[in-house]
Each structure stands twice: as structure tokens, then as C-alpha cells.
Structure 1
């Protein structure tokens, strides 16, 4: 009897070790999948000659800076977009009347730290997404057009769409975790890597790349609109002779591109947020189904839920980003 009891206790004691081992295996598998995607991208990108590394580094630094300054607005936008879903009991209630009410209520009920729920994956996302987005956009432009003076709106839009799709597809896992942490607040606990592992164990690789097609579509629209609008606005302001290549021109151009990006991307952003936030049994079967269900049950304007905070975020975000990016470009390294 004593021997049997000792064996059972040994088995019980080994369970935590088994759990740790399984977590390590899951982590290694996750790293391997991420490594394969990044390696594939780098192999393709190495074929591009005369790649300038500065837009990659400066784009990443400027993106992280802009994200830190506007993150609470992004969180309020996410909360506004997920509420009012008729088919989801958890998000059926309309808790927030607008952006300011959302910020105040979240801070009061969940604490000020809740306003930065998801900041870690958001920073990681910008470090990857922002770096690749700006770097590939500038590189694609030089592949199509040798001189910046010869750039057109069409060529820049093509470059923006391509860079948006590539960068967002690679950074999608960070986007999934960021949106879930923003929408669910204190419900999600633990480290960022622990949450990545948890999603991978429960939902597999598909869980980490859930909504990747929507993310790529949104990025194609946002980047395909914002960056070309900024470049063309800046170009014409300088050519007009009324404004030089200075901070005022950068401010006006970034404001214009933020407004254009918000108008173009908000419907896709609403659908993407709802698709990524659903867990277990899928409420929506796909992009079109989500659009139709949202339209039928909540009306067309539901696709523009969170537009004001979306614009308030994209506006300041782009202003901070481009002002920072333009200053970094002046550094001689």
C-alpha cells in the first residue's frame, strides 16, 4: 500500500513538470512557425537590390512613438466597436456612449492601467508592422520610380497596398492578442508570451493568424490611402511655393492622410475587430457574413462605429508618426 501511494505521489508530482514541458514544446513550435514566416519574407526581400535600411529603422521607431501616445484612444475605439453585437451575450449591452465616456468609465471601473491593456503586443506589433510597412513602401517606390519627383498617386497606392499586405500578414499574431486584451480588459492575465502560447495551444496556428485576410485588407486600404495621400499632399504643398519642406507641411499632410485613412478603413476595421475577438463557437462565418449580420441587426452606420475615436487616433497617430519620421530622416548615420 505504501509503495502504491508513493508511486501515485510521484505521478502527481510529475504533472507540473509535464505541464512545463508541454508549454516549452508549444513555445518552440510557435517560435518555429514565426521563424519560418520571417525567413520566407527575408529570403524574398534579399533579392531586392540596393535596399536602404534607414526607412525600416526610422519607420519602426516612429511607429512605436506614435503608438505610445495614442493607445488609450485605440482601446476606446475597440470597446466601442465590439459592443452591441446581438448574437454575443457578453457584448450585447451598450456600455459606452462615446469615446470620452468609454475612457472615463474604463478608468473608473477597471483602473487607469486598463487604458493600456494590450500595450505590450501593440508595441511589438508596431516594431514589426511599422518597420516592414515603411521600409517596403519606400523600397517598392524606388523599384517602380527612380526619382521621387516622378512619383504619382497610382504608383504610390500600388506600393502602399503591397507593403500593407506584407507587413500586416507577418504581424497578425500581435494584432490578435492586442485586440483581445483591449476588448476583454482584465479578463486576460499573464505575460504576453504566455498568452501567445495559450492561444496557440487552444486554437493552433490558425488562432494566431485569425482574421489575417481582414487585417491584410484593412492594411491594404489604410496604407494604400494614407501613405500616398501624405506623399502627394506634401509634394503639392512644396511645389505650390506657399509652404516649404518643414514641420508645418508635415503637419498638414499627416492630418489629411489620417482623415482619408479613417474614412476608407472604418468598415473593415469594425468587421476585423469583431472577427478577431470571437472565441470558441464562431458567431460570424466570414467577412461577408459579419458585414451582413452587422448591417441587418444594427444598421449600416454600425460599420462606422468608433469612427470618431478612430479618426482621433489616426489623426494624432499620423501627426506624431510623420513628424518623428521626418526628423529621424535628417539624422546622418
Structure 2
């Protein structure tokens, strides 16, 4: 244990750099992805298609409707992303130590799953607040994120802020394990294809984009159930027959498929994949660029 603490202390600068770079990545990802994320959430909670969802938002709420619920994520997602990237890099370094060997893609996936699990405790209440605000169309129940959290806490108790945790954990563990493994795999493949030791900008953008697609593809059904569990009203309990406080993931999944078919858990997937490609391409590129610049600054000073 003392060796582990000493190793952590020796690598505190690198951990700080990873935290800072992860925060930059989170901001870039959030700004670029939030409008289509709102469309995705609305589609998951309705029978509308892409066109009708877009039309309703524009007609009833204007373009600002796409940015509902963004204030809380823009402040909190940098923290979540910082945790994801720093935990991921921490376990990468822990596995290889001071050697120059490269992790296998399976080991990379394990590091990603640990990072995802760590992030879920922060992302669950953030997602709950974001989704509640995104679902407000004409009736404004919550004034802002703080009011949303306060009302949920007052009416349903503290643990209700973690509604959908089971689904969130599954999404984050599976999604991030796939994301980081695919990112490293595609990046290495493109480097070998171009016969260059260092990845180019195009390489990083393509690798990040495909990593995002893989992340959301493997985690999308869980995300749909998470949205239902977090956004349903007490009056919907008779319809979905889900338990509020323990997540009710399997029960909700089974009822959703029985009532609406297997395709119902993939509502909004097309929008999500478009968003995940460009947002994660930007996010990973921002992370790599920020990490390089922060490392250079540290070496100078």
C-alpha cells in the first residue's frame, strides 16, 4: 500500500495534467453535442421521429430550446470528464509502471471500464438534472438546475437524485471500455497505415469519432432506460411499472420491449450517433492538444 501511495505521489504532476486536459475535453464535447442531445432525449420519451421532434422544438420553444439544461452540464461535465481521463490514464500508468511497453487493447478496455464506473457516481445526478430540464417544453416546472435538484430532494428524498444509477453504471462501464479500446485501436491502425510514429490531426479526429460511435452504440439501450427512469413522472408508474429508487432497470427494459417492441429502446439512435461522432472527435482532439500544451508548460516552468 505504501508503494502505491508513493507511486501516486510521484505521478501527481501527470495526474494534474490529465485532470486539466480532461476538463478542456469535457467543455468542448458539451458545447458541440448538447443541441442534438436534447433531440435524443425528447425522442426517447416520445413516439416522434427526428423531423417532428426538431419541428416541435423550433415551433414551441425556438432555437434556445435546443440548449435547455445546458448550464449545469457545462459546469459539471468538465469535472466528470476530468475524472474519466485522469482515472483512465492513472490505471494505464499503474499497469505498465515506468516501462515503455504498450497496453493490450483488452487492458485498455479494463482501464476504460474502471474510469466509466468512477464517473457514474457524478454523471447520474448530472444526467437526471439535465434530462429533467431538457424535457420542459411549454410548462416550466424547474427554474434552473439548482431549483430542479432542490425540488427533487424535497419531494422524493436524497437517493432519488441517483435514480437510474444501475442503468448509468452499465452505460458508462460498457461505453467507456469500448470507447478507449477503439480509440487506441483505430489510432494505432491509422499510424501504421501512414507509417508515421505520431498521429496526425485527421488521425485523432477519426479515431475519436469512431470511439464515440462505439461508446454510444454499446451503451445506447442502457441510456434509453436511464432516460425513462429519470424523466418519468409519478403518474407514469402505472404505465412503466418501474421502481423509483433501486433503478428498476431490468423490469423497465422488459416492459418497454413487451409494450413497444425492441426498436423502442433504440429511439433517437441516429441522432445520437451523428452527435457522438463529431462531438467525440472534437473532445478527444481537445484532450490530446490540451495535454500536450499543459505538459509543455510544465516543462518550461
Question: By the TM > 0.5 criterion, same fold?
Answer: yes
CA–CA distance in structure 1, aligned partners of residues 34 and 270 of structure 2 = 15
Query: Is residue 179–residue 277 contact of structure 1 (8 Å, CA) maintained in 2?
Result: yes
Counterpart in the other structure of 1:289: 251
Question: Matches of residues 84-163 of structure 1 in structure 2 within 5 Å?
Answer: 94=47, 96-98=48-50, 100-146=51-97, 147=99, 149-163=101-115
Alpha-carbon distance in 2 for matches of 1:77, 1:136: 28
Contact 1:152–1:232 (CA under 8 A) maintained in structure 2? no
Root-mean-square deviation (CA, aligned residues, Å) is: 2.1
1:188 partner SS: coil
Q: 1:278 to 1:48 in 2, by over 3 A?
A: farther
Equivalent in the alignment of 1:177: 129
**How far is the alpha carbon of 1:168 from its aligned partner?**
1.7
- How does the TM-score come out when normalised to structure 1? 0.78
Deviation of the 1:194 alpha carbon = 2.1
Equivalent residues of 2:175, 2:219 under 8 A apart: yes
**C-alpha separation in 2, matches of 1:149 and 1:230:** 18
1:296, 1:148 → 2: CA distance? 51
**Alignment match, 2:168:** 215
On the 8 A contact 1:117/1:185 being kept in 2, the answer is no
Matches within 5 A, 1:271-310: 271-280=225-234, 282=237, 283=240, 284-285=242-243, 286-310=248-272
What is the Cα deviation at residue 159 of structure 1?
Answer: 0.8
Give the C-alpha shift of residue 170 in structure 1. Answer: 2.4
Distance 1:69 1:170 in 2: 21
Q: Contact conserved, 2:209 with 2:279, CA < 8 A, in 1?
A: no
Is 1:264 equivalent to 2:218 in the alignment? yes
Q: Take 2:122 and 2:285, find their aligned partners in 1: how far apart are those partners? A: 26
TM-fit CA distance, 1:47: 8.5
Give the Cα–Cα distance (whole angstroms) in 1 for the partners of residues 134 and 208 of structure 2: 26
Cα deviations by residue, 1:125-151 (Å, 9 ceiling, x for unpaired): 312211101111111111112356421
Q: CA deviation at 1:124?
A: 2.9
Which whole-Å CA distance do the structure 2 matches of 1:183 and 1:218 have between them?
21
1:164 touches 1:216 (CA, 8 Å); kept in 2? Answer: yes
TM-score normalized by structure 2? 0.86
Report the counterpart of residue 5 of structure 1 in structure 2: none
3-state secondary structure, aligned to 1:330: helix
SS at match of 1:168: helix
Asked if residue 69 in structure 1 is aligned to residue 14 in structure 2, the reply is no
User: How many Å separate the matches in 2 of 1:125 and 1:268?
Assistant: 22
| Cα distance between partner residues in 2 of 1:227 and 1:221 | 11
Partner Cα separation in structure 2 for residue 108 and residue 306 of structure 1: 20
Per the TM alignment, residue 45 of structure 1 is displaced from its structure 2 partner at its CA by: 9.2
Give the match for residue 190 of structure 2: 237
CA contact (8 A) 1:62 1:322 kept: yes
Q: Does 1:60 align with 2:23?
A: yes
Kept in 1, the 8 Å contact 2:187–2:204? The answer is: yes
Q: CA deviation at 1:232?
A: 2.1
- Matched position secondary structure for 1:184: coil
How far does residue 46 in structure 1 lie from its aligned partner after superposition?
9.8
Tell me which structure has the larger Cα radius of gyration.
1
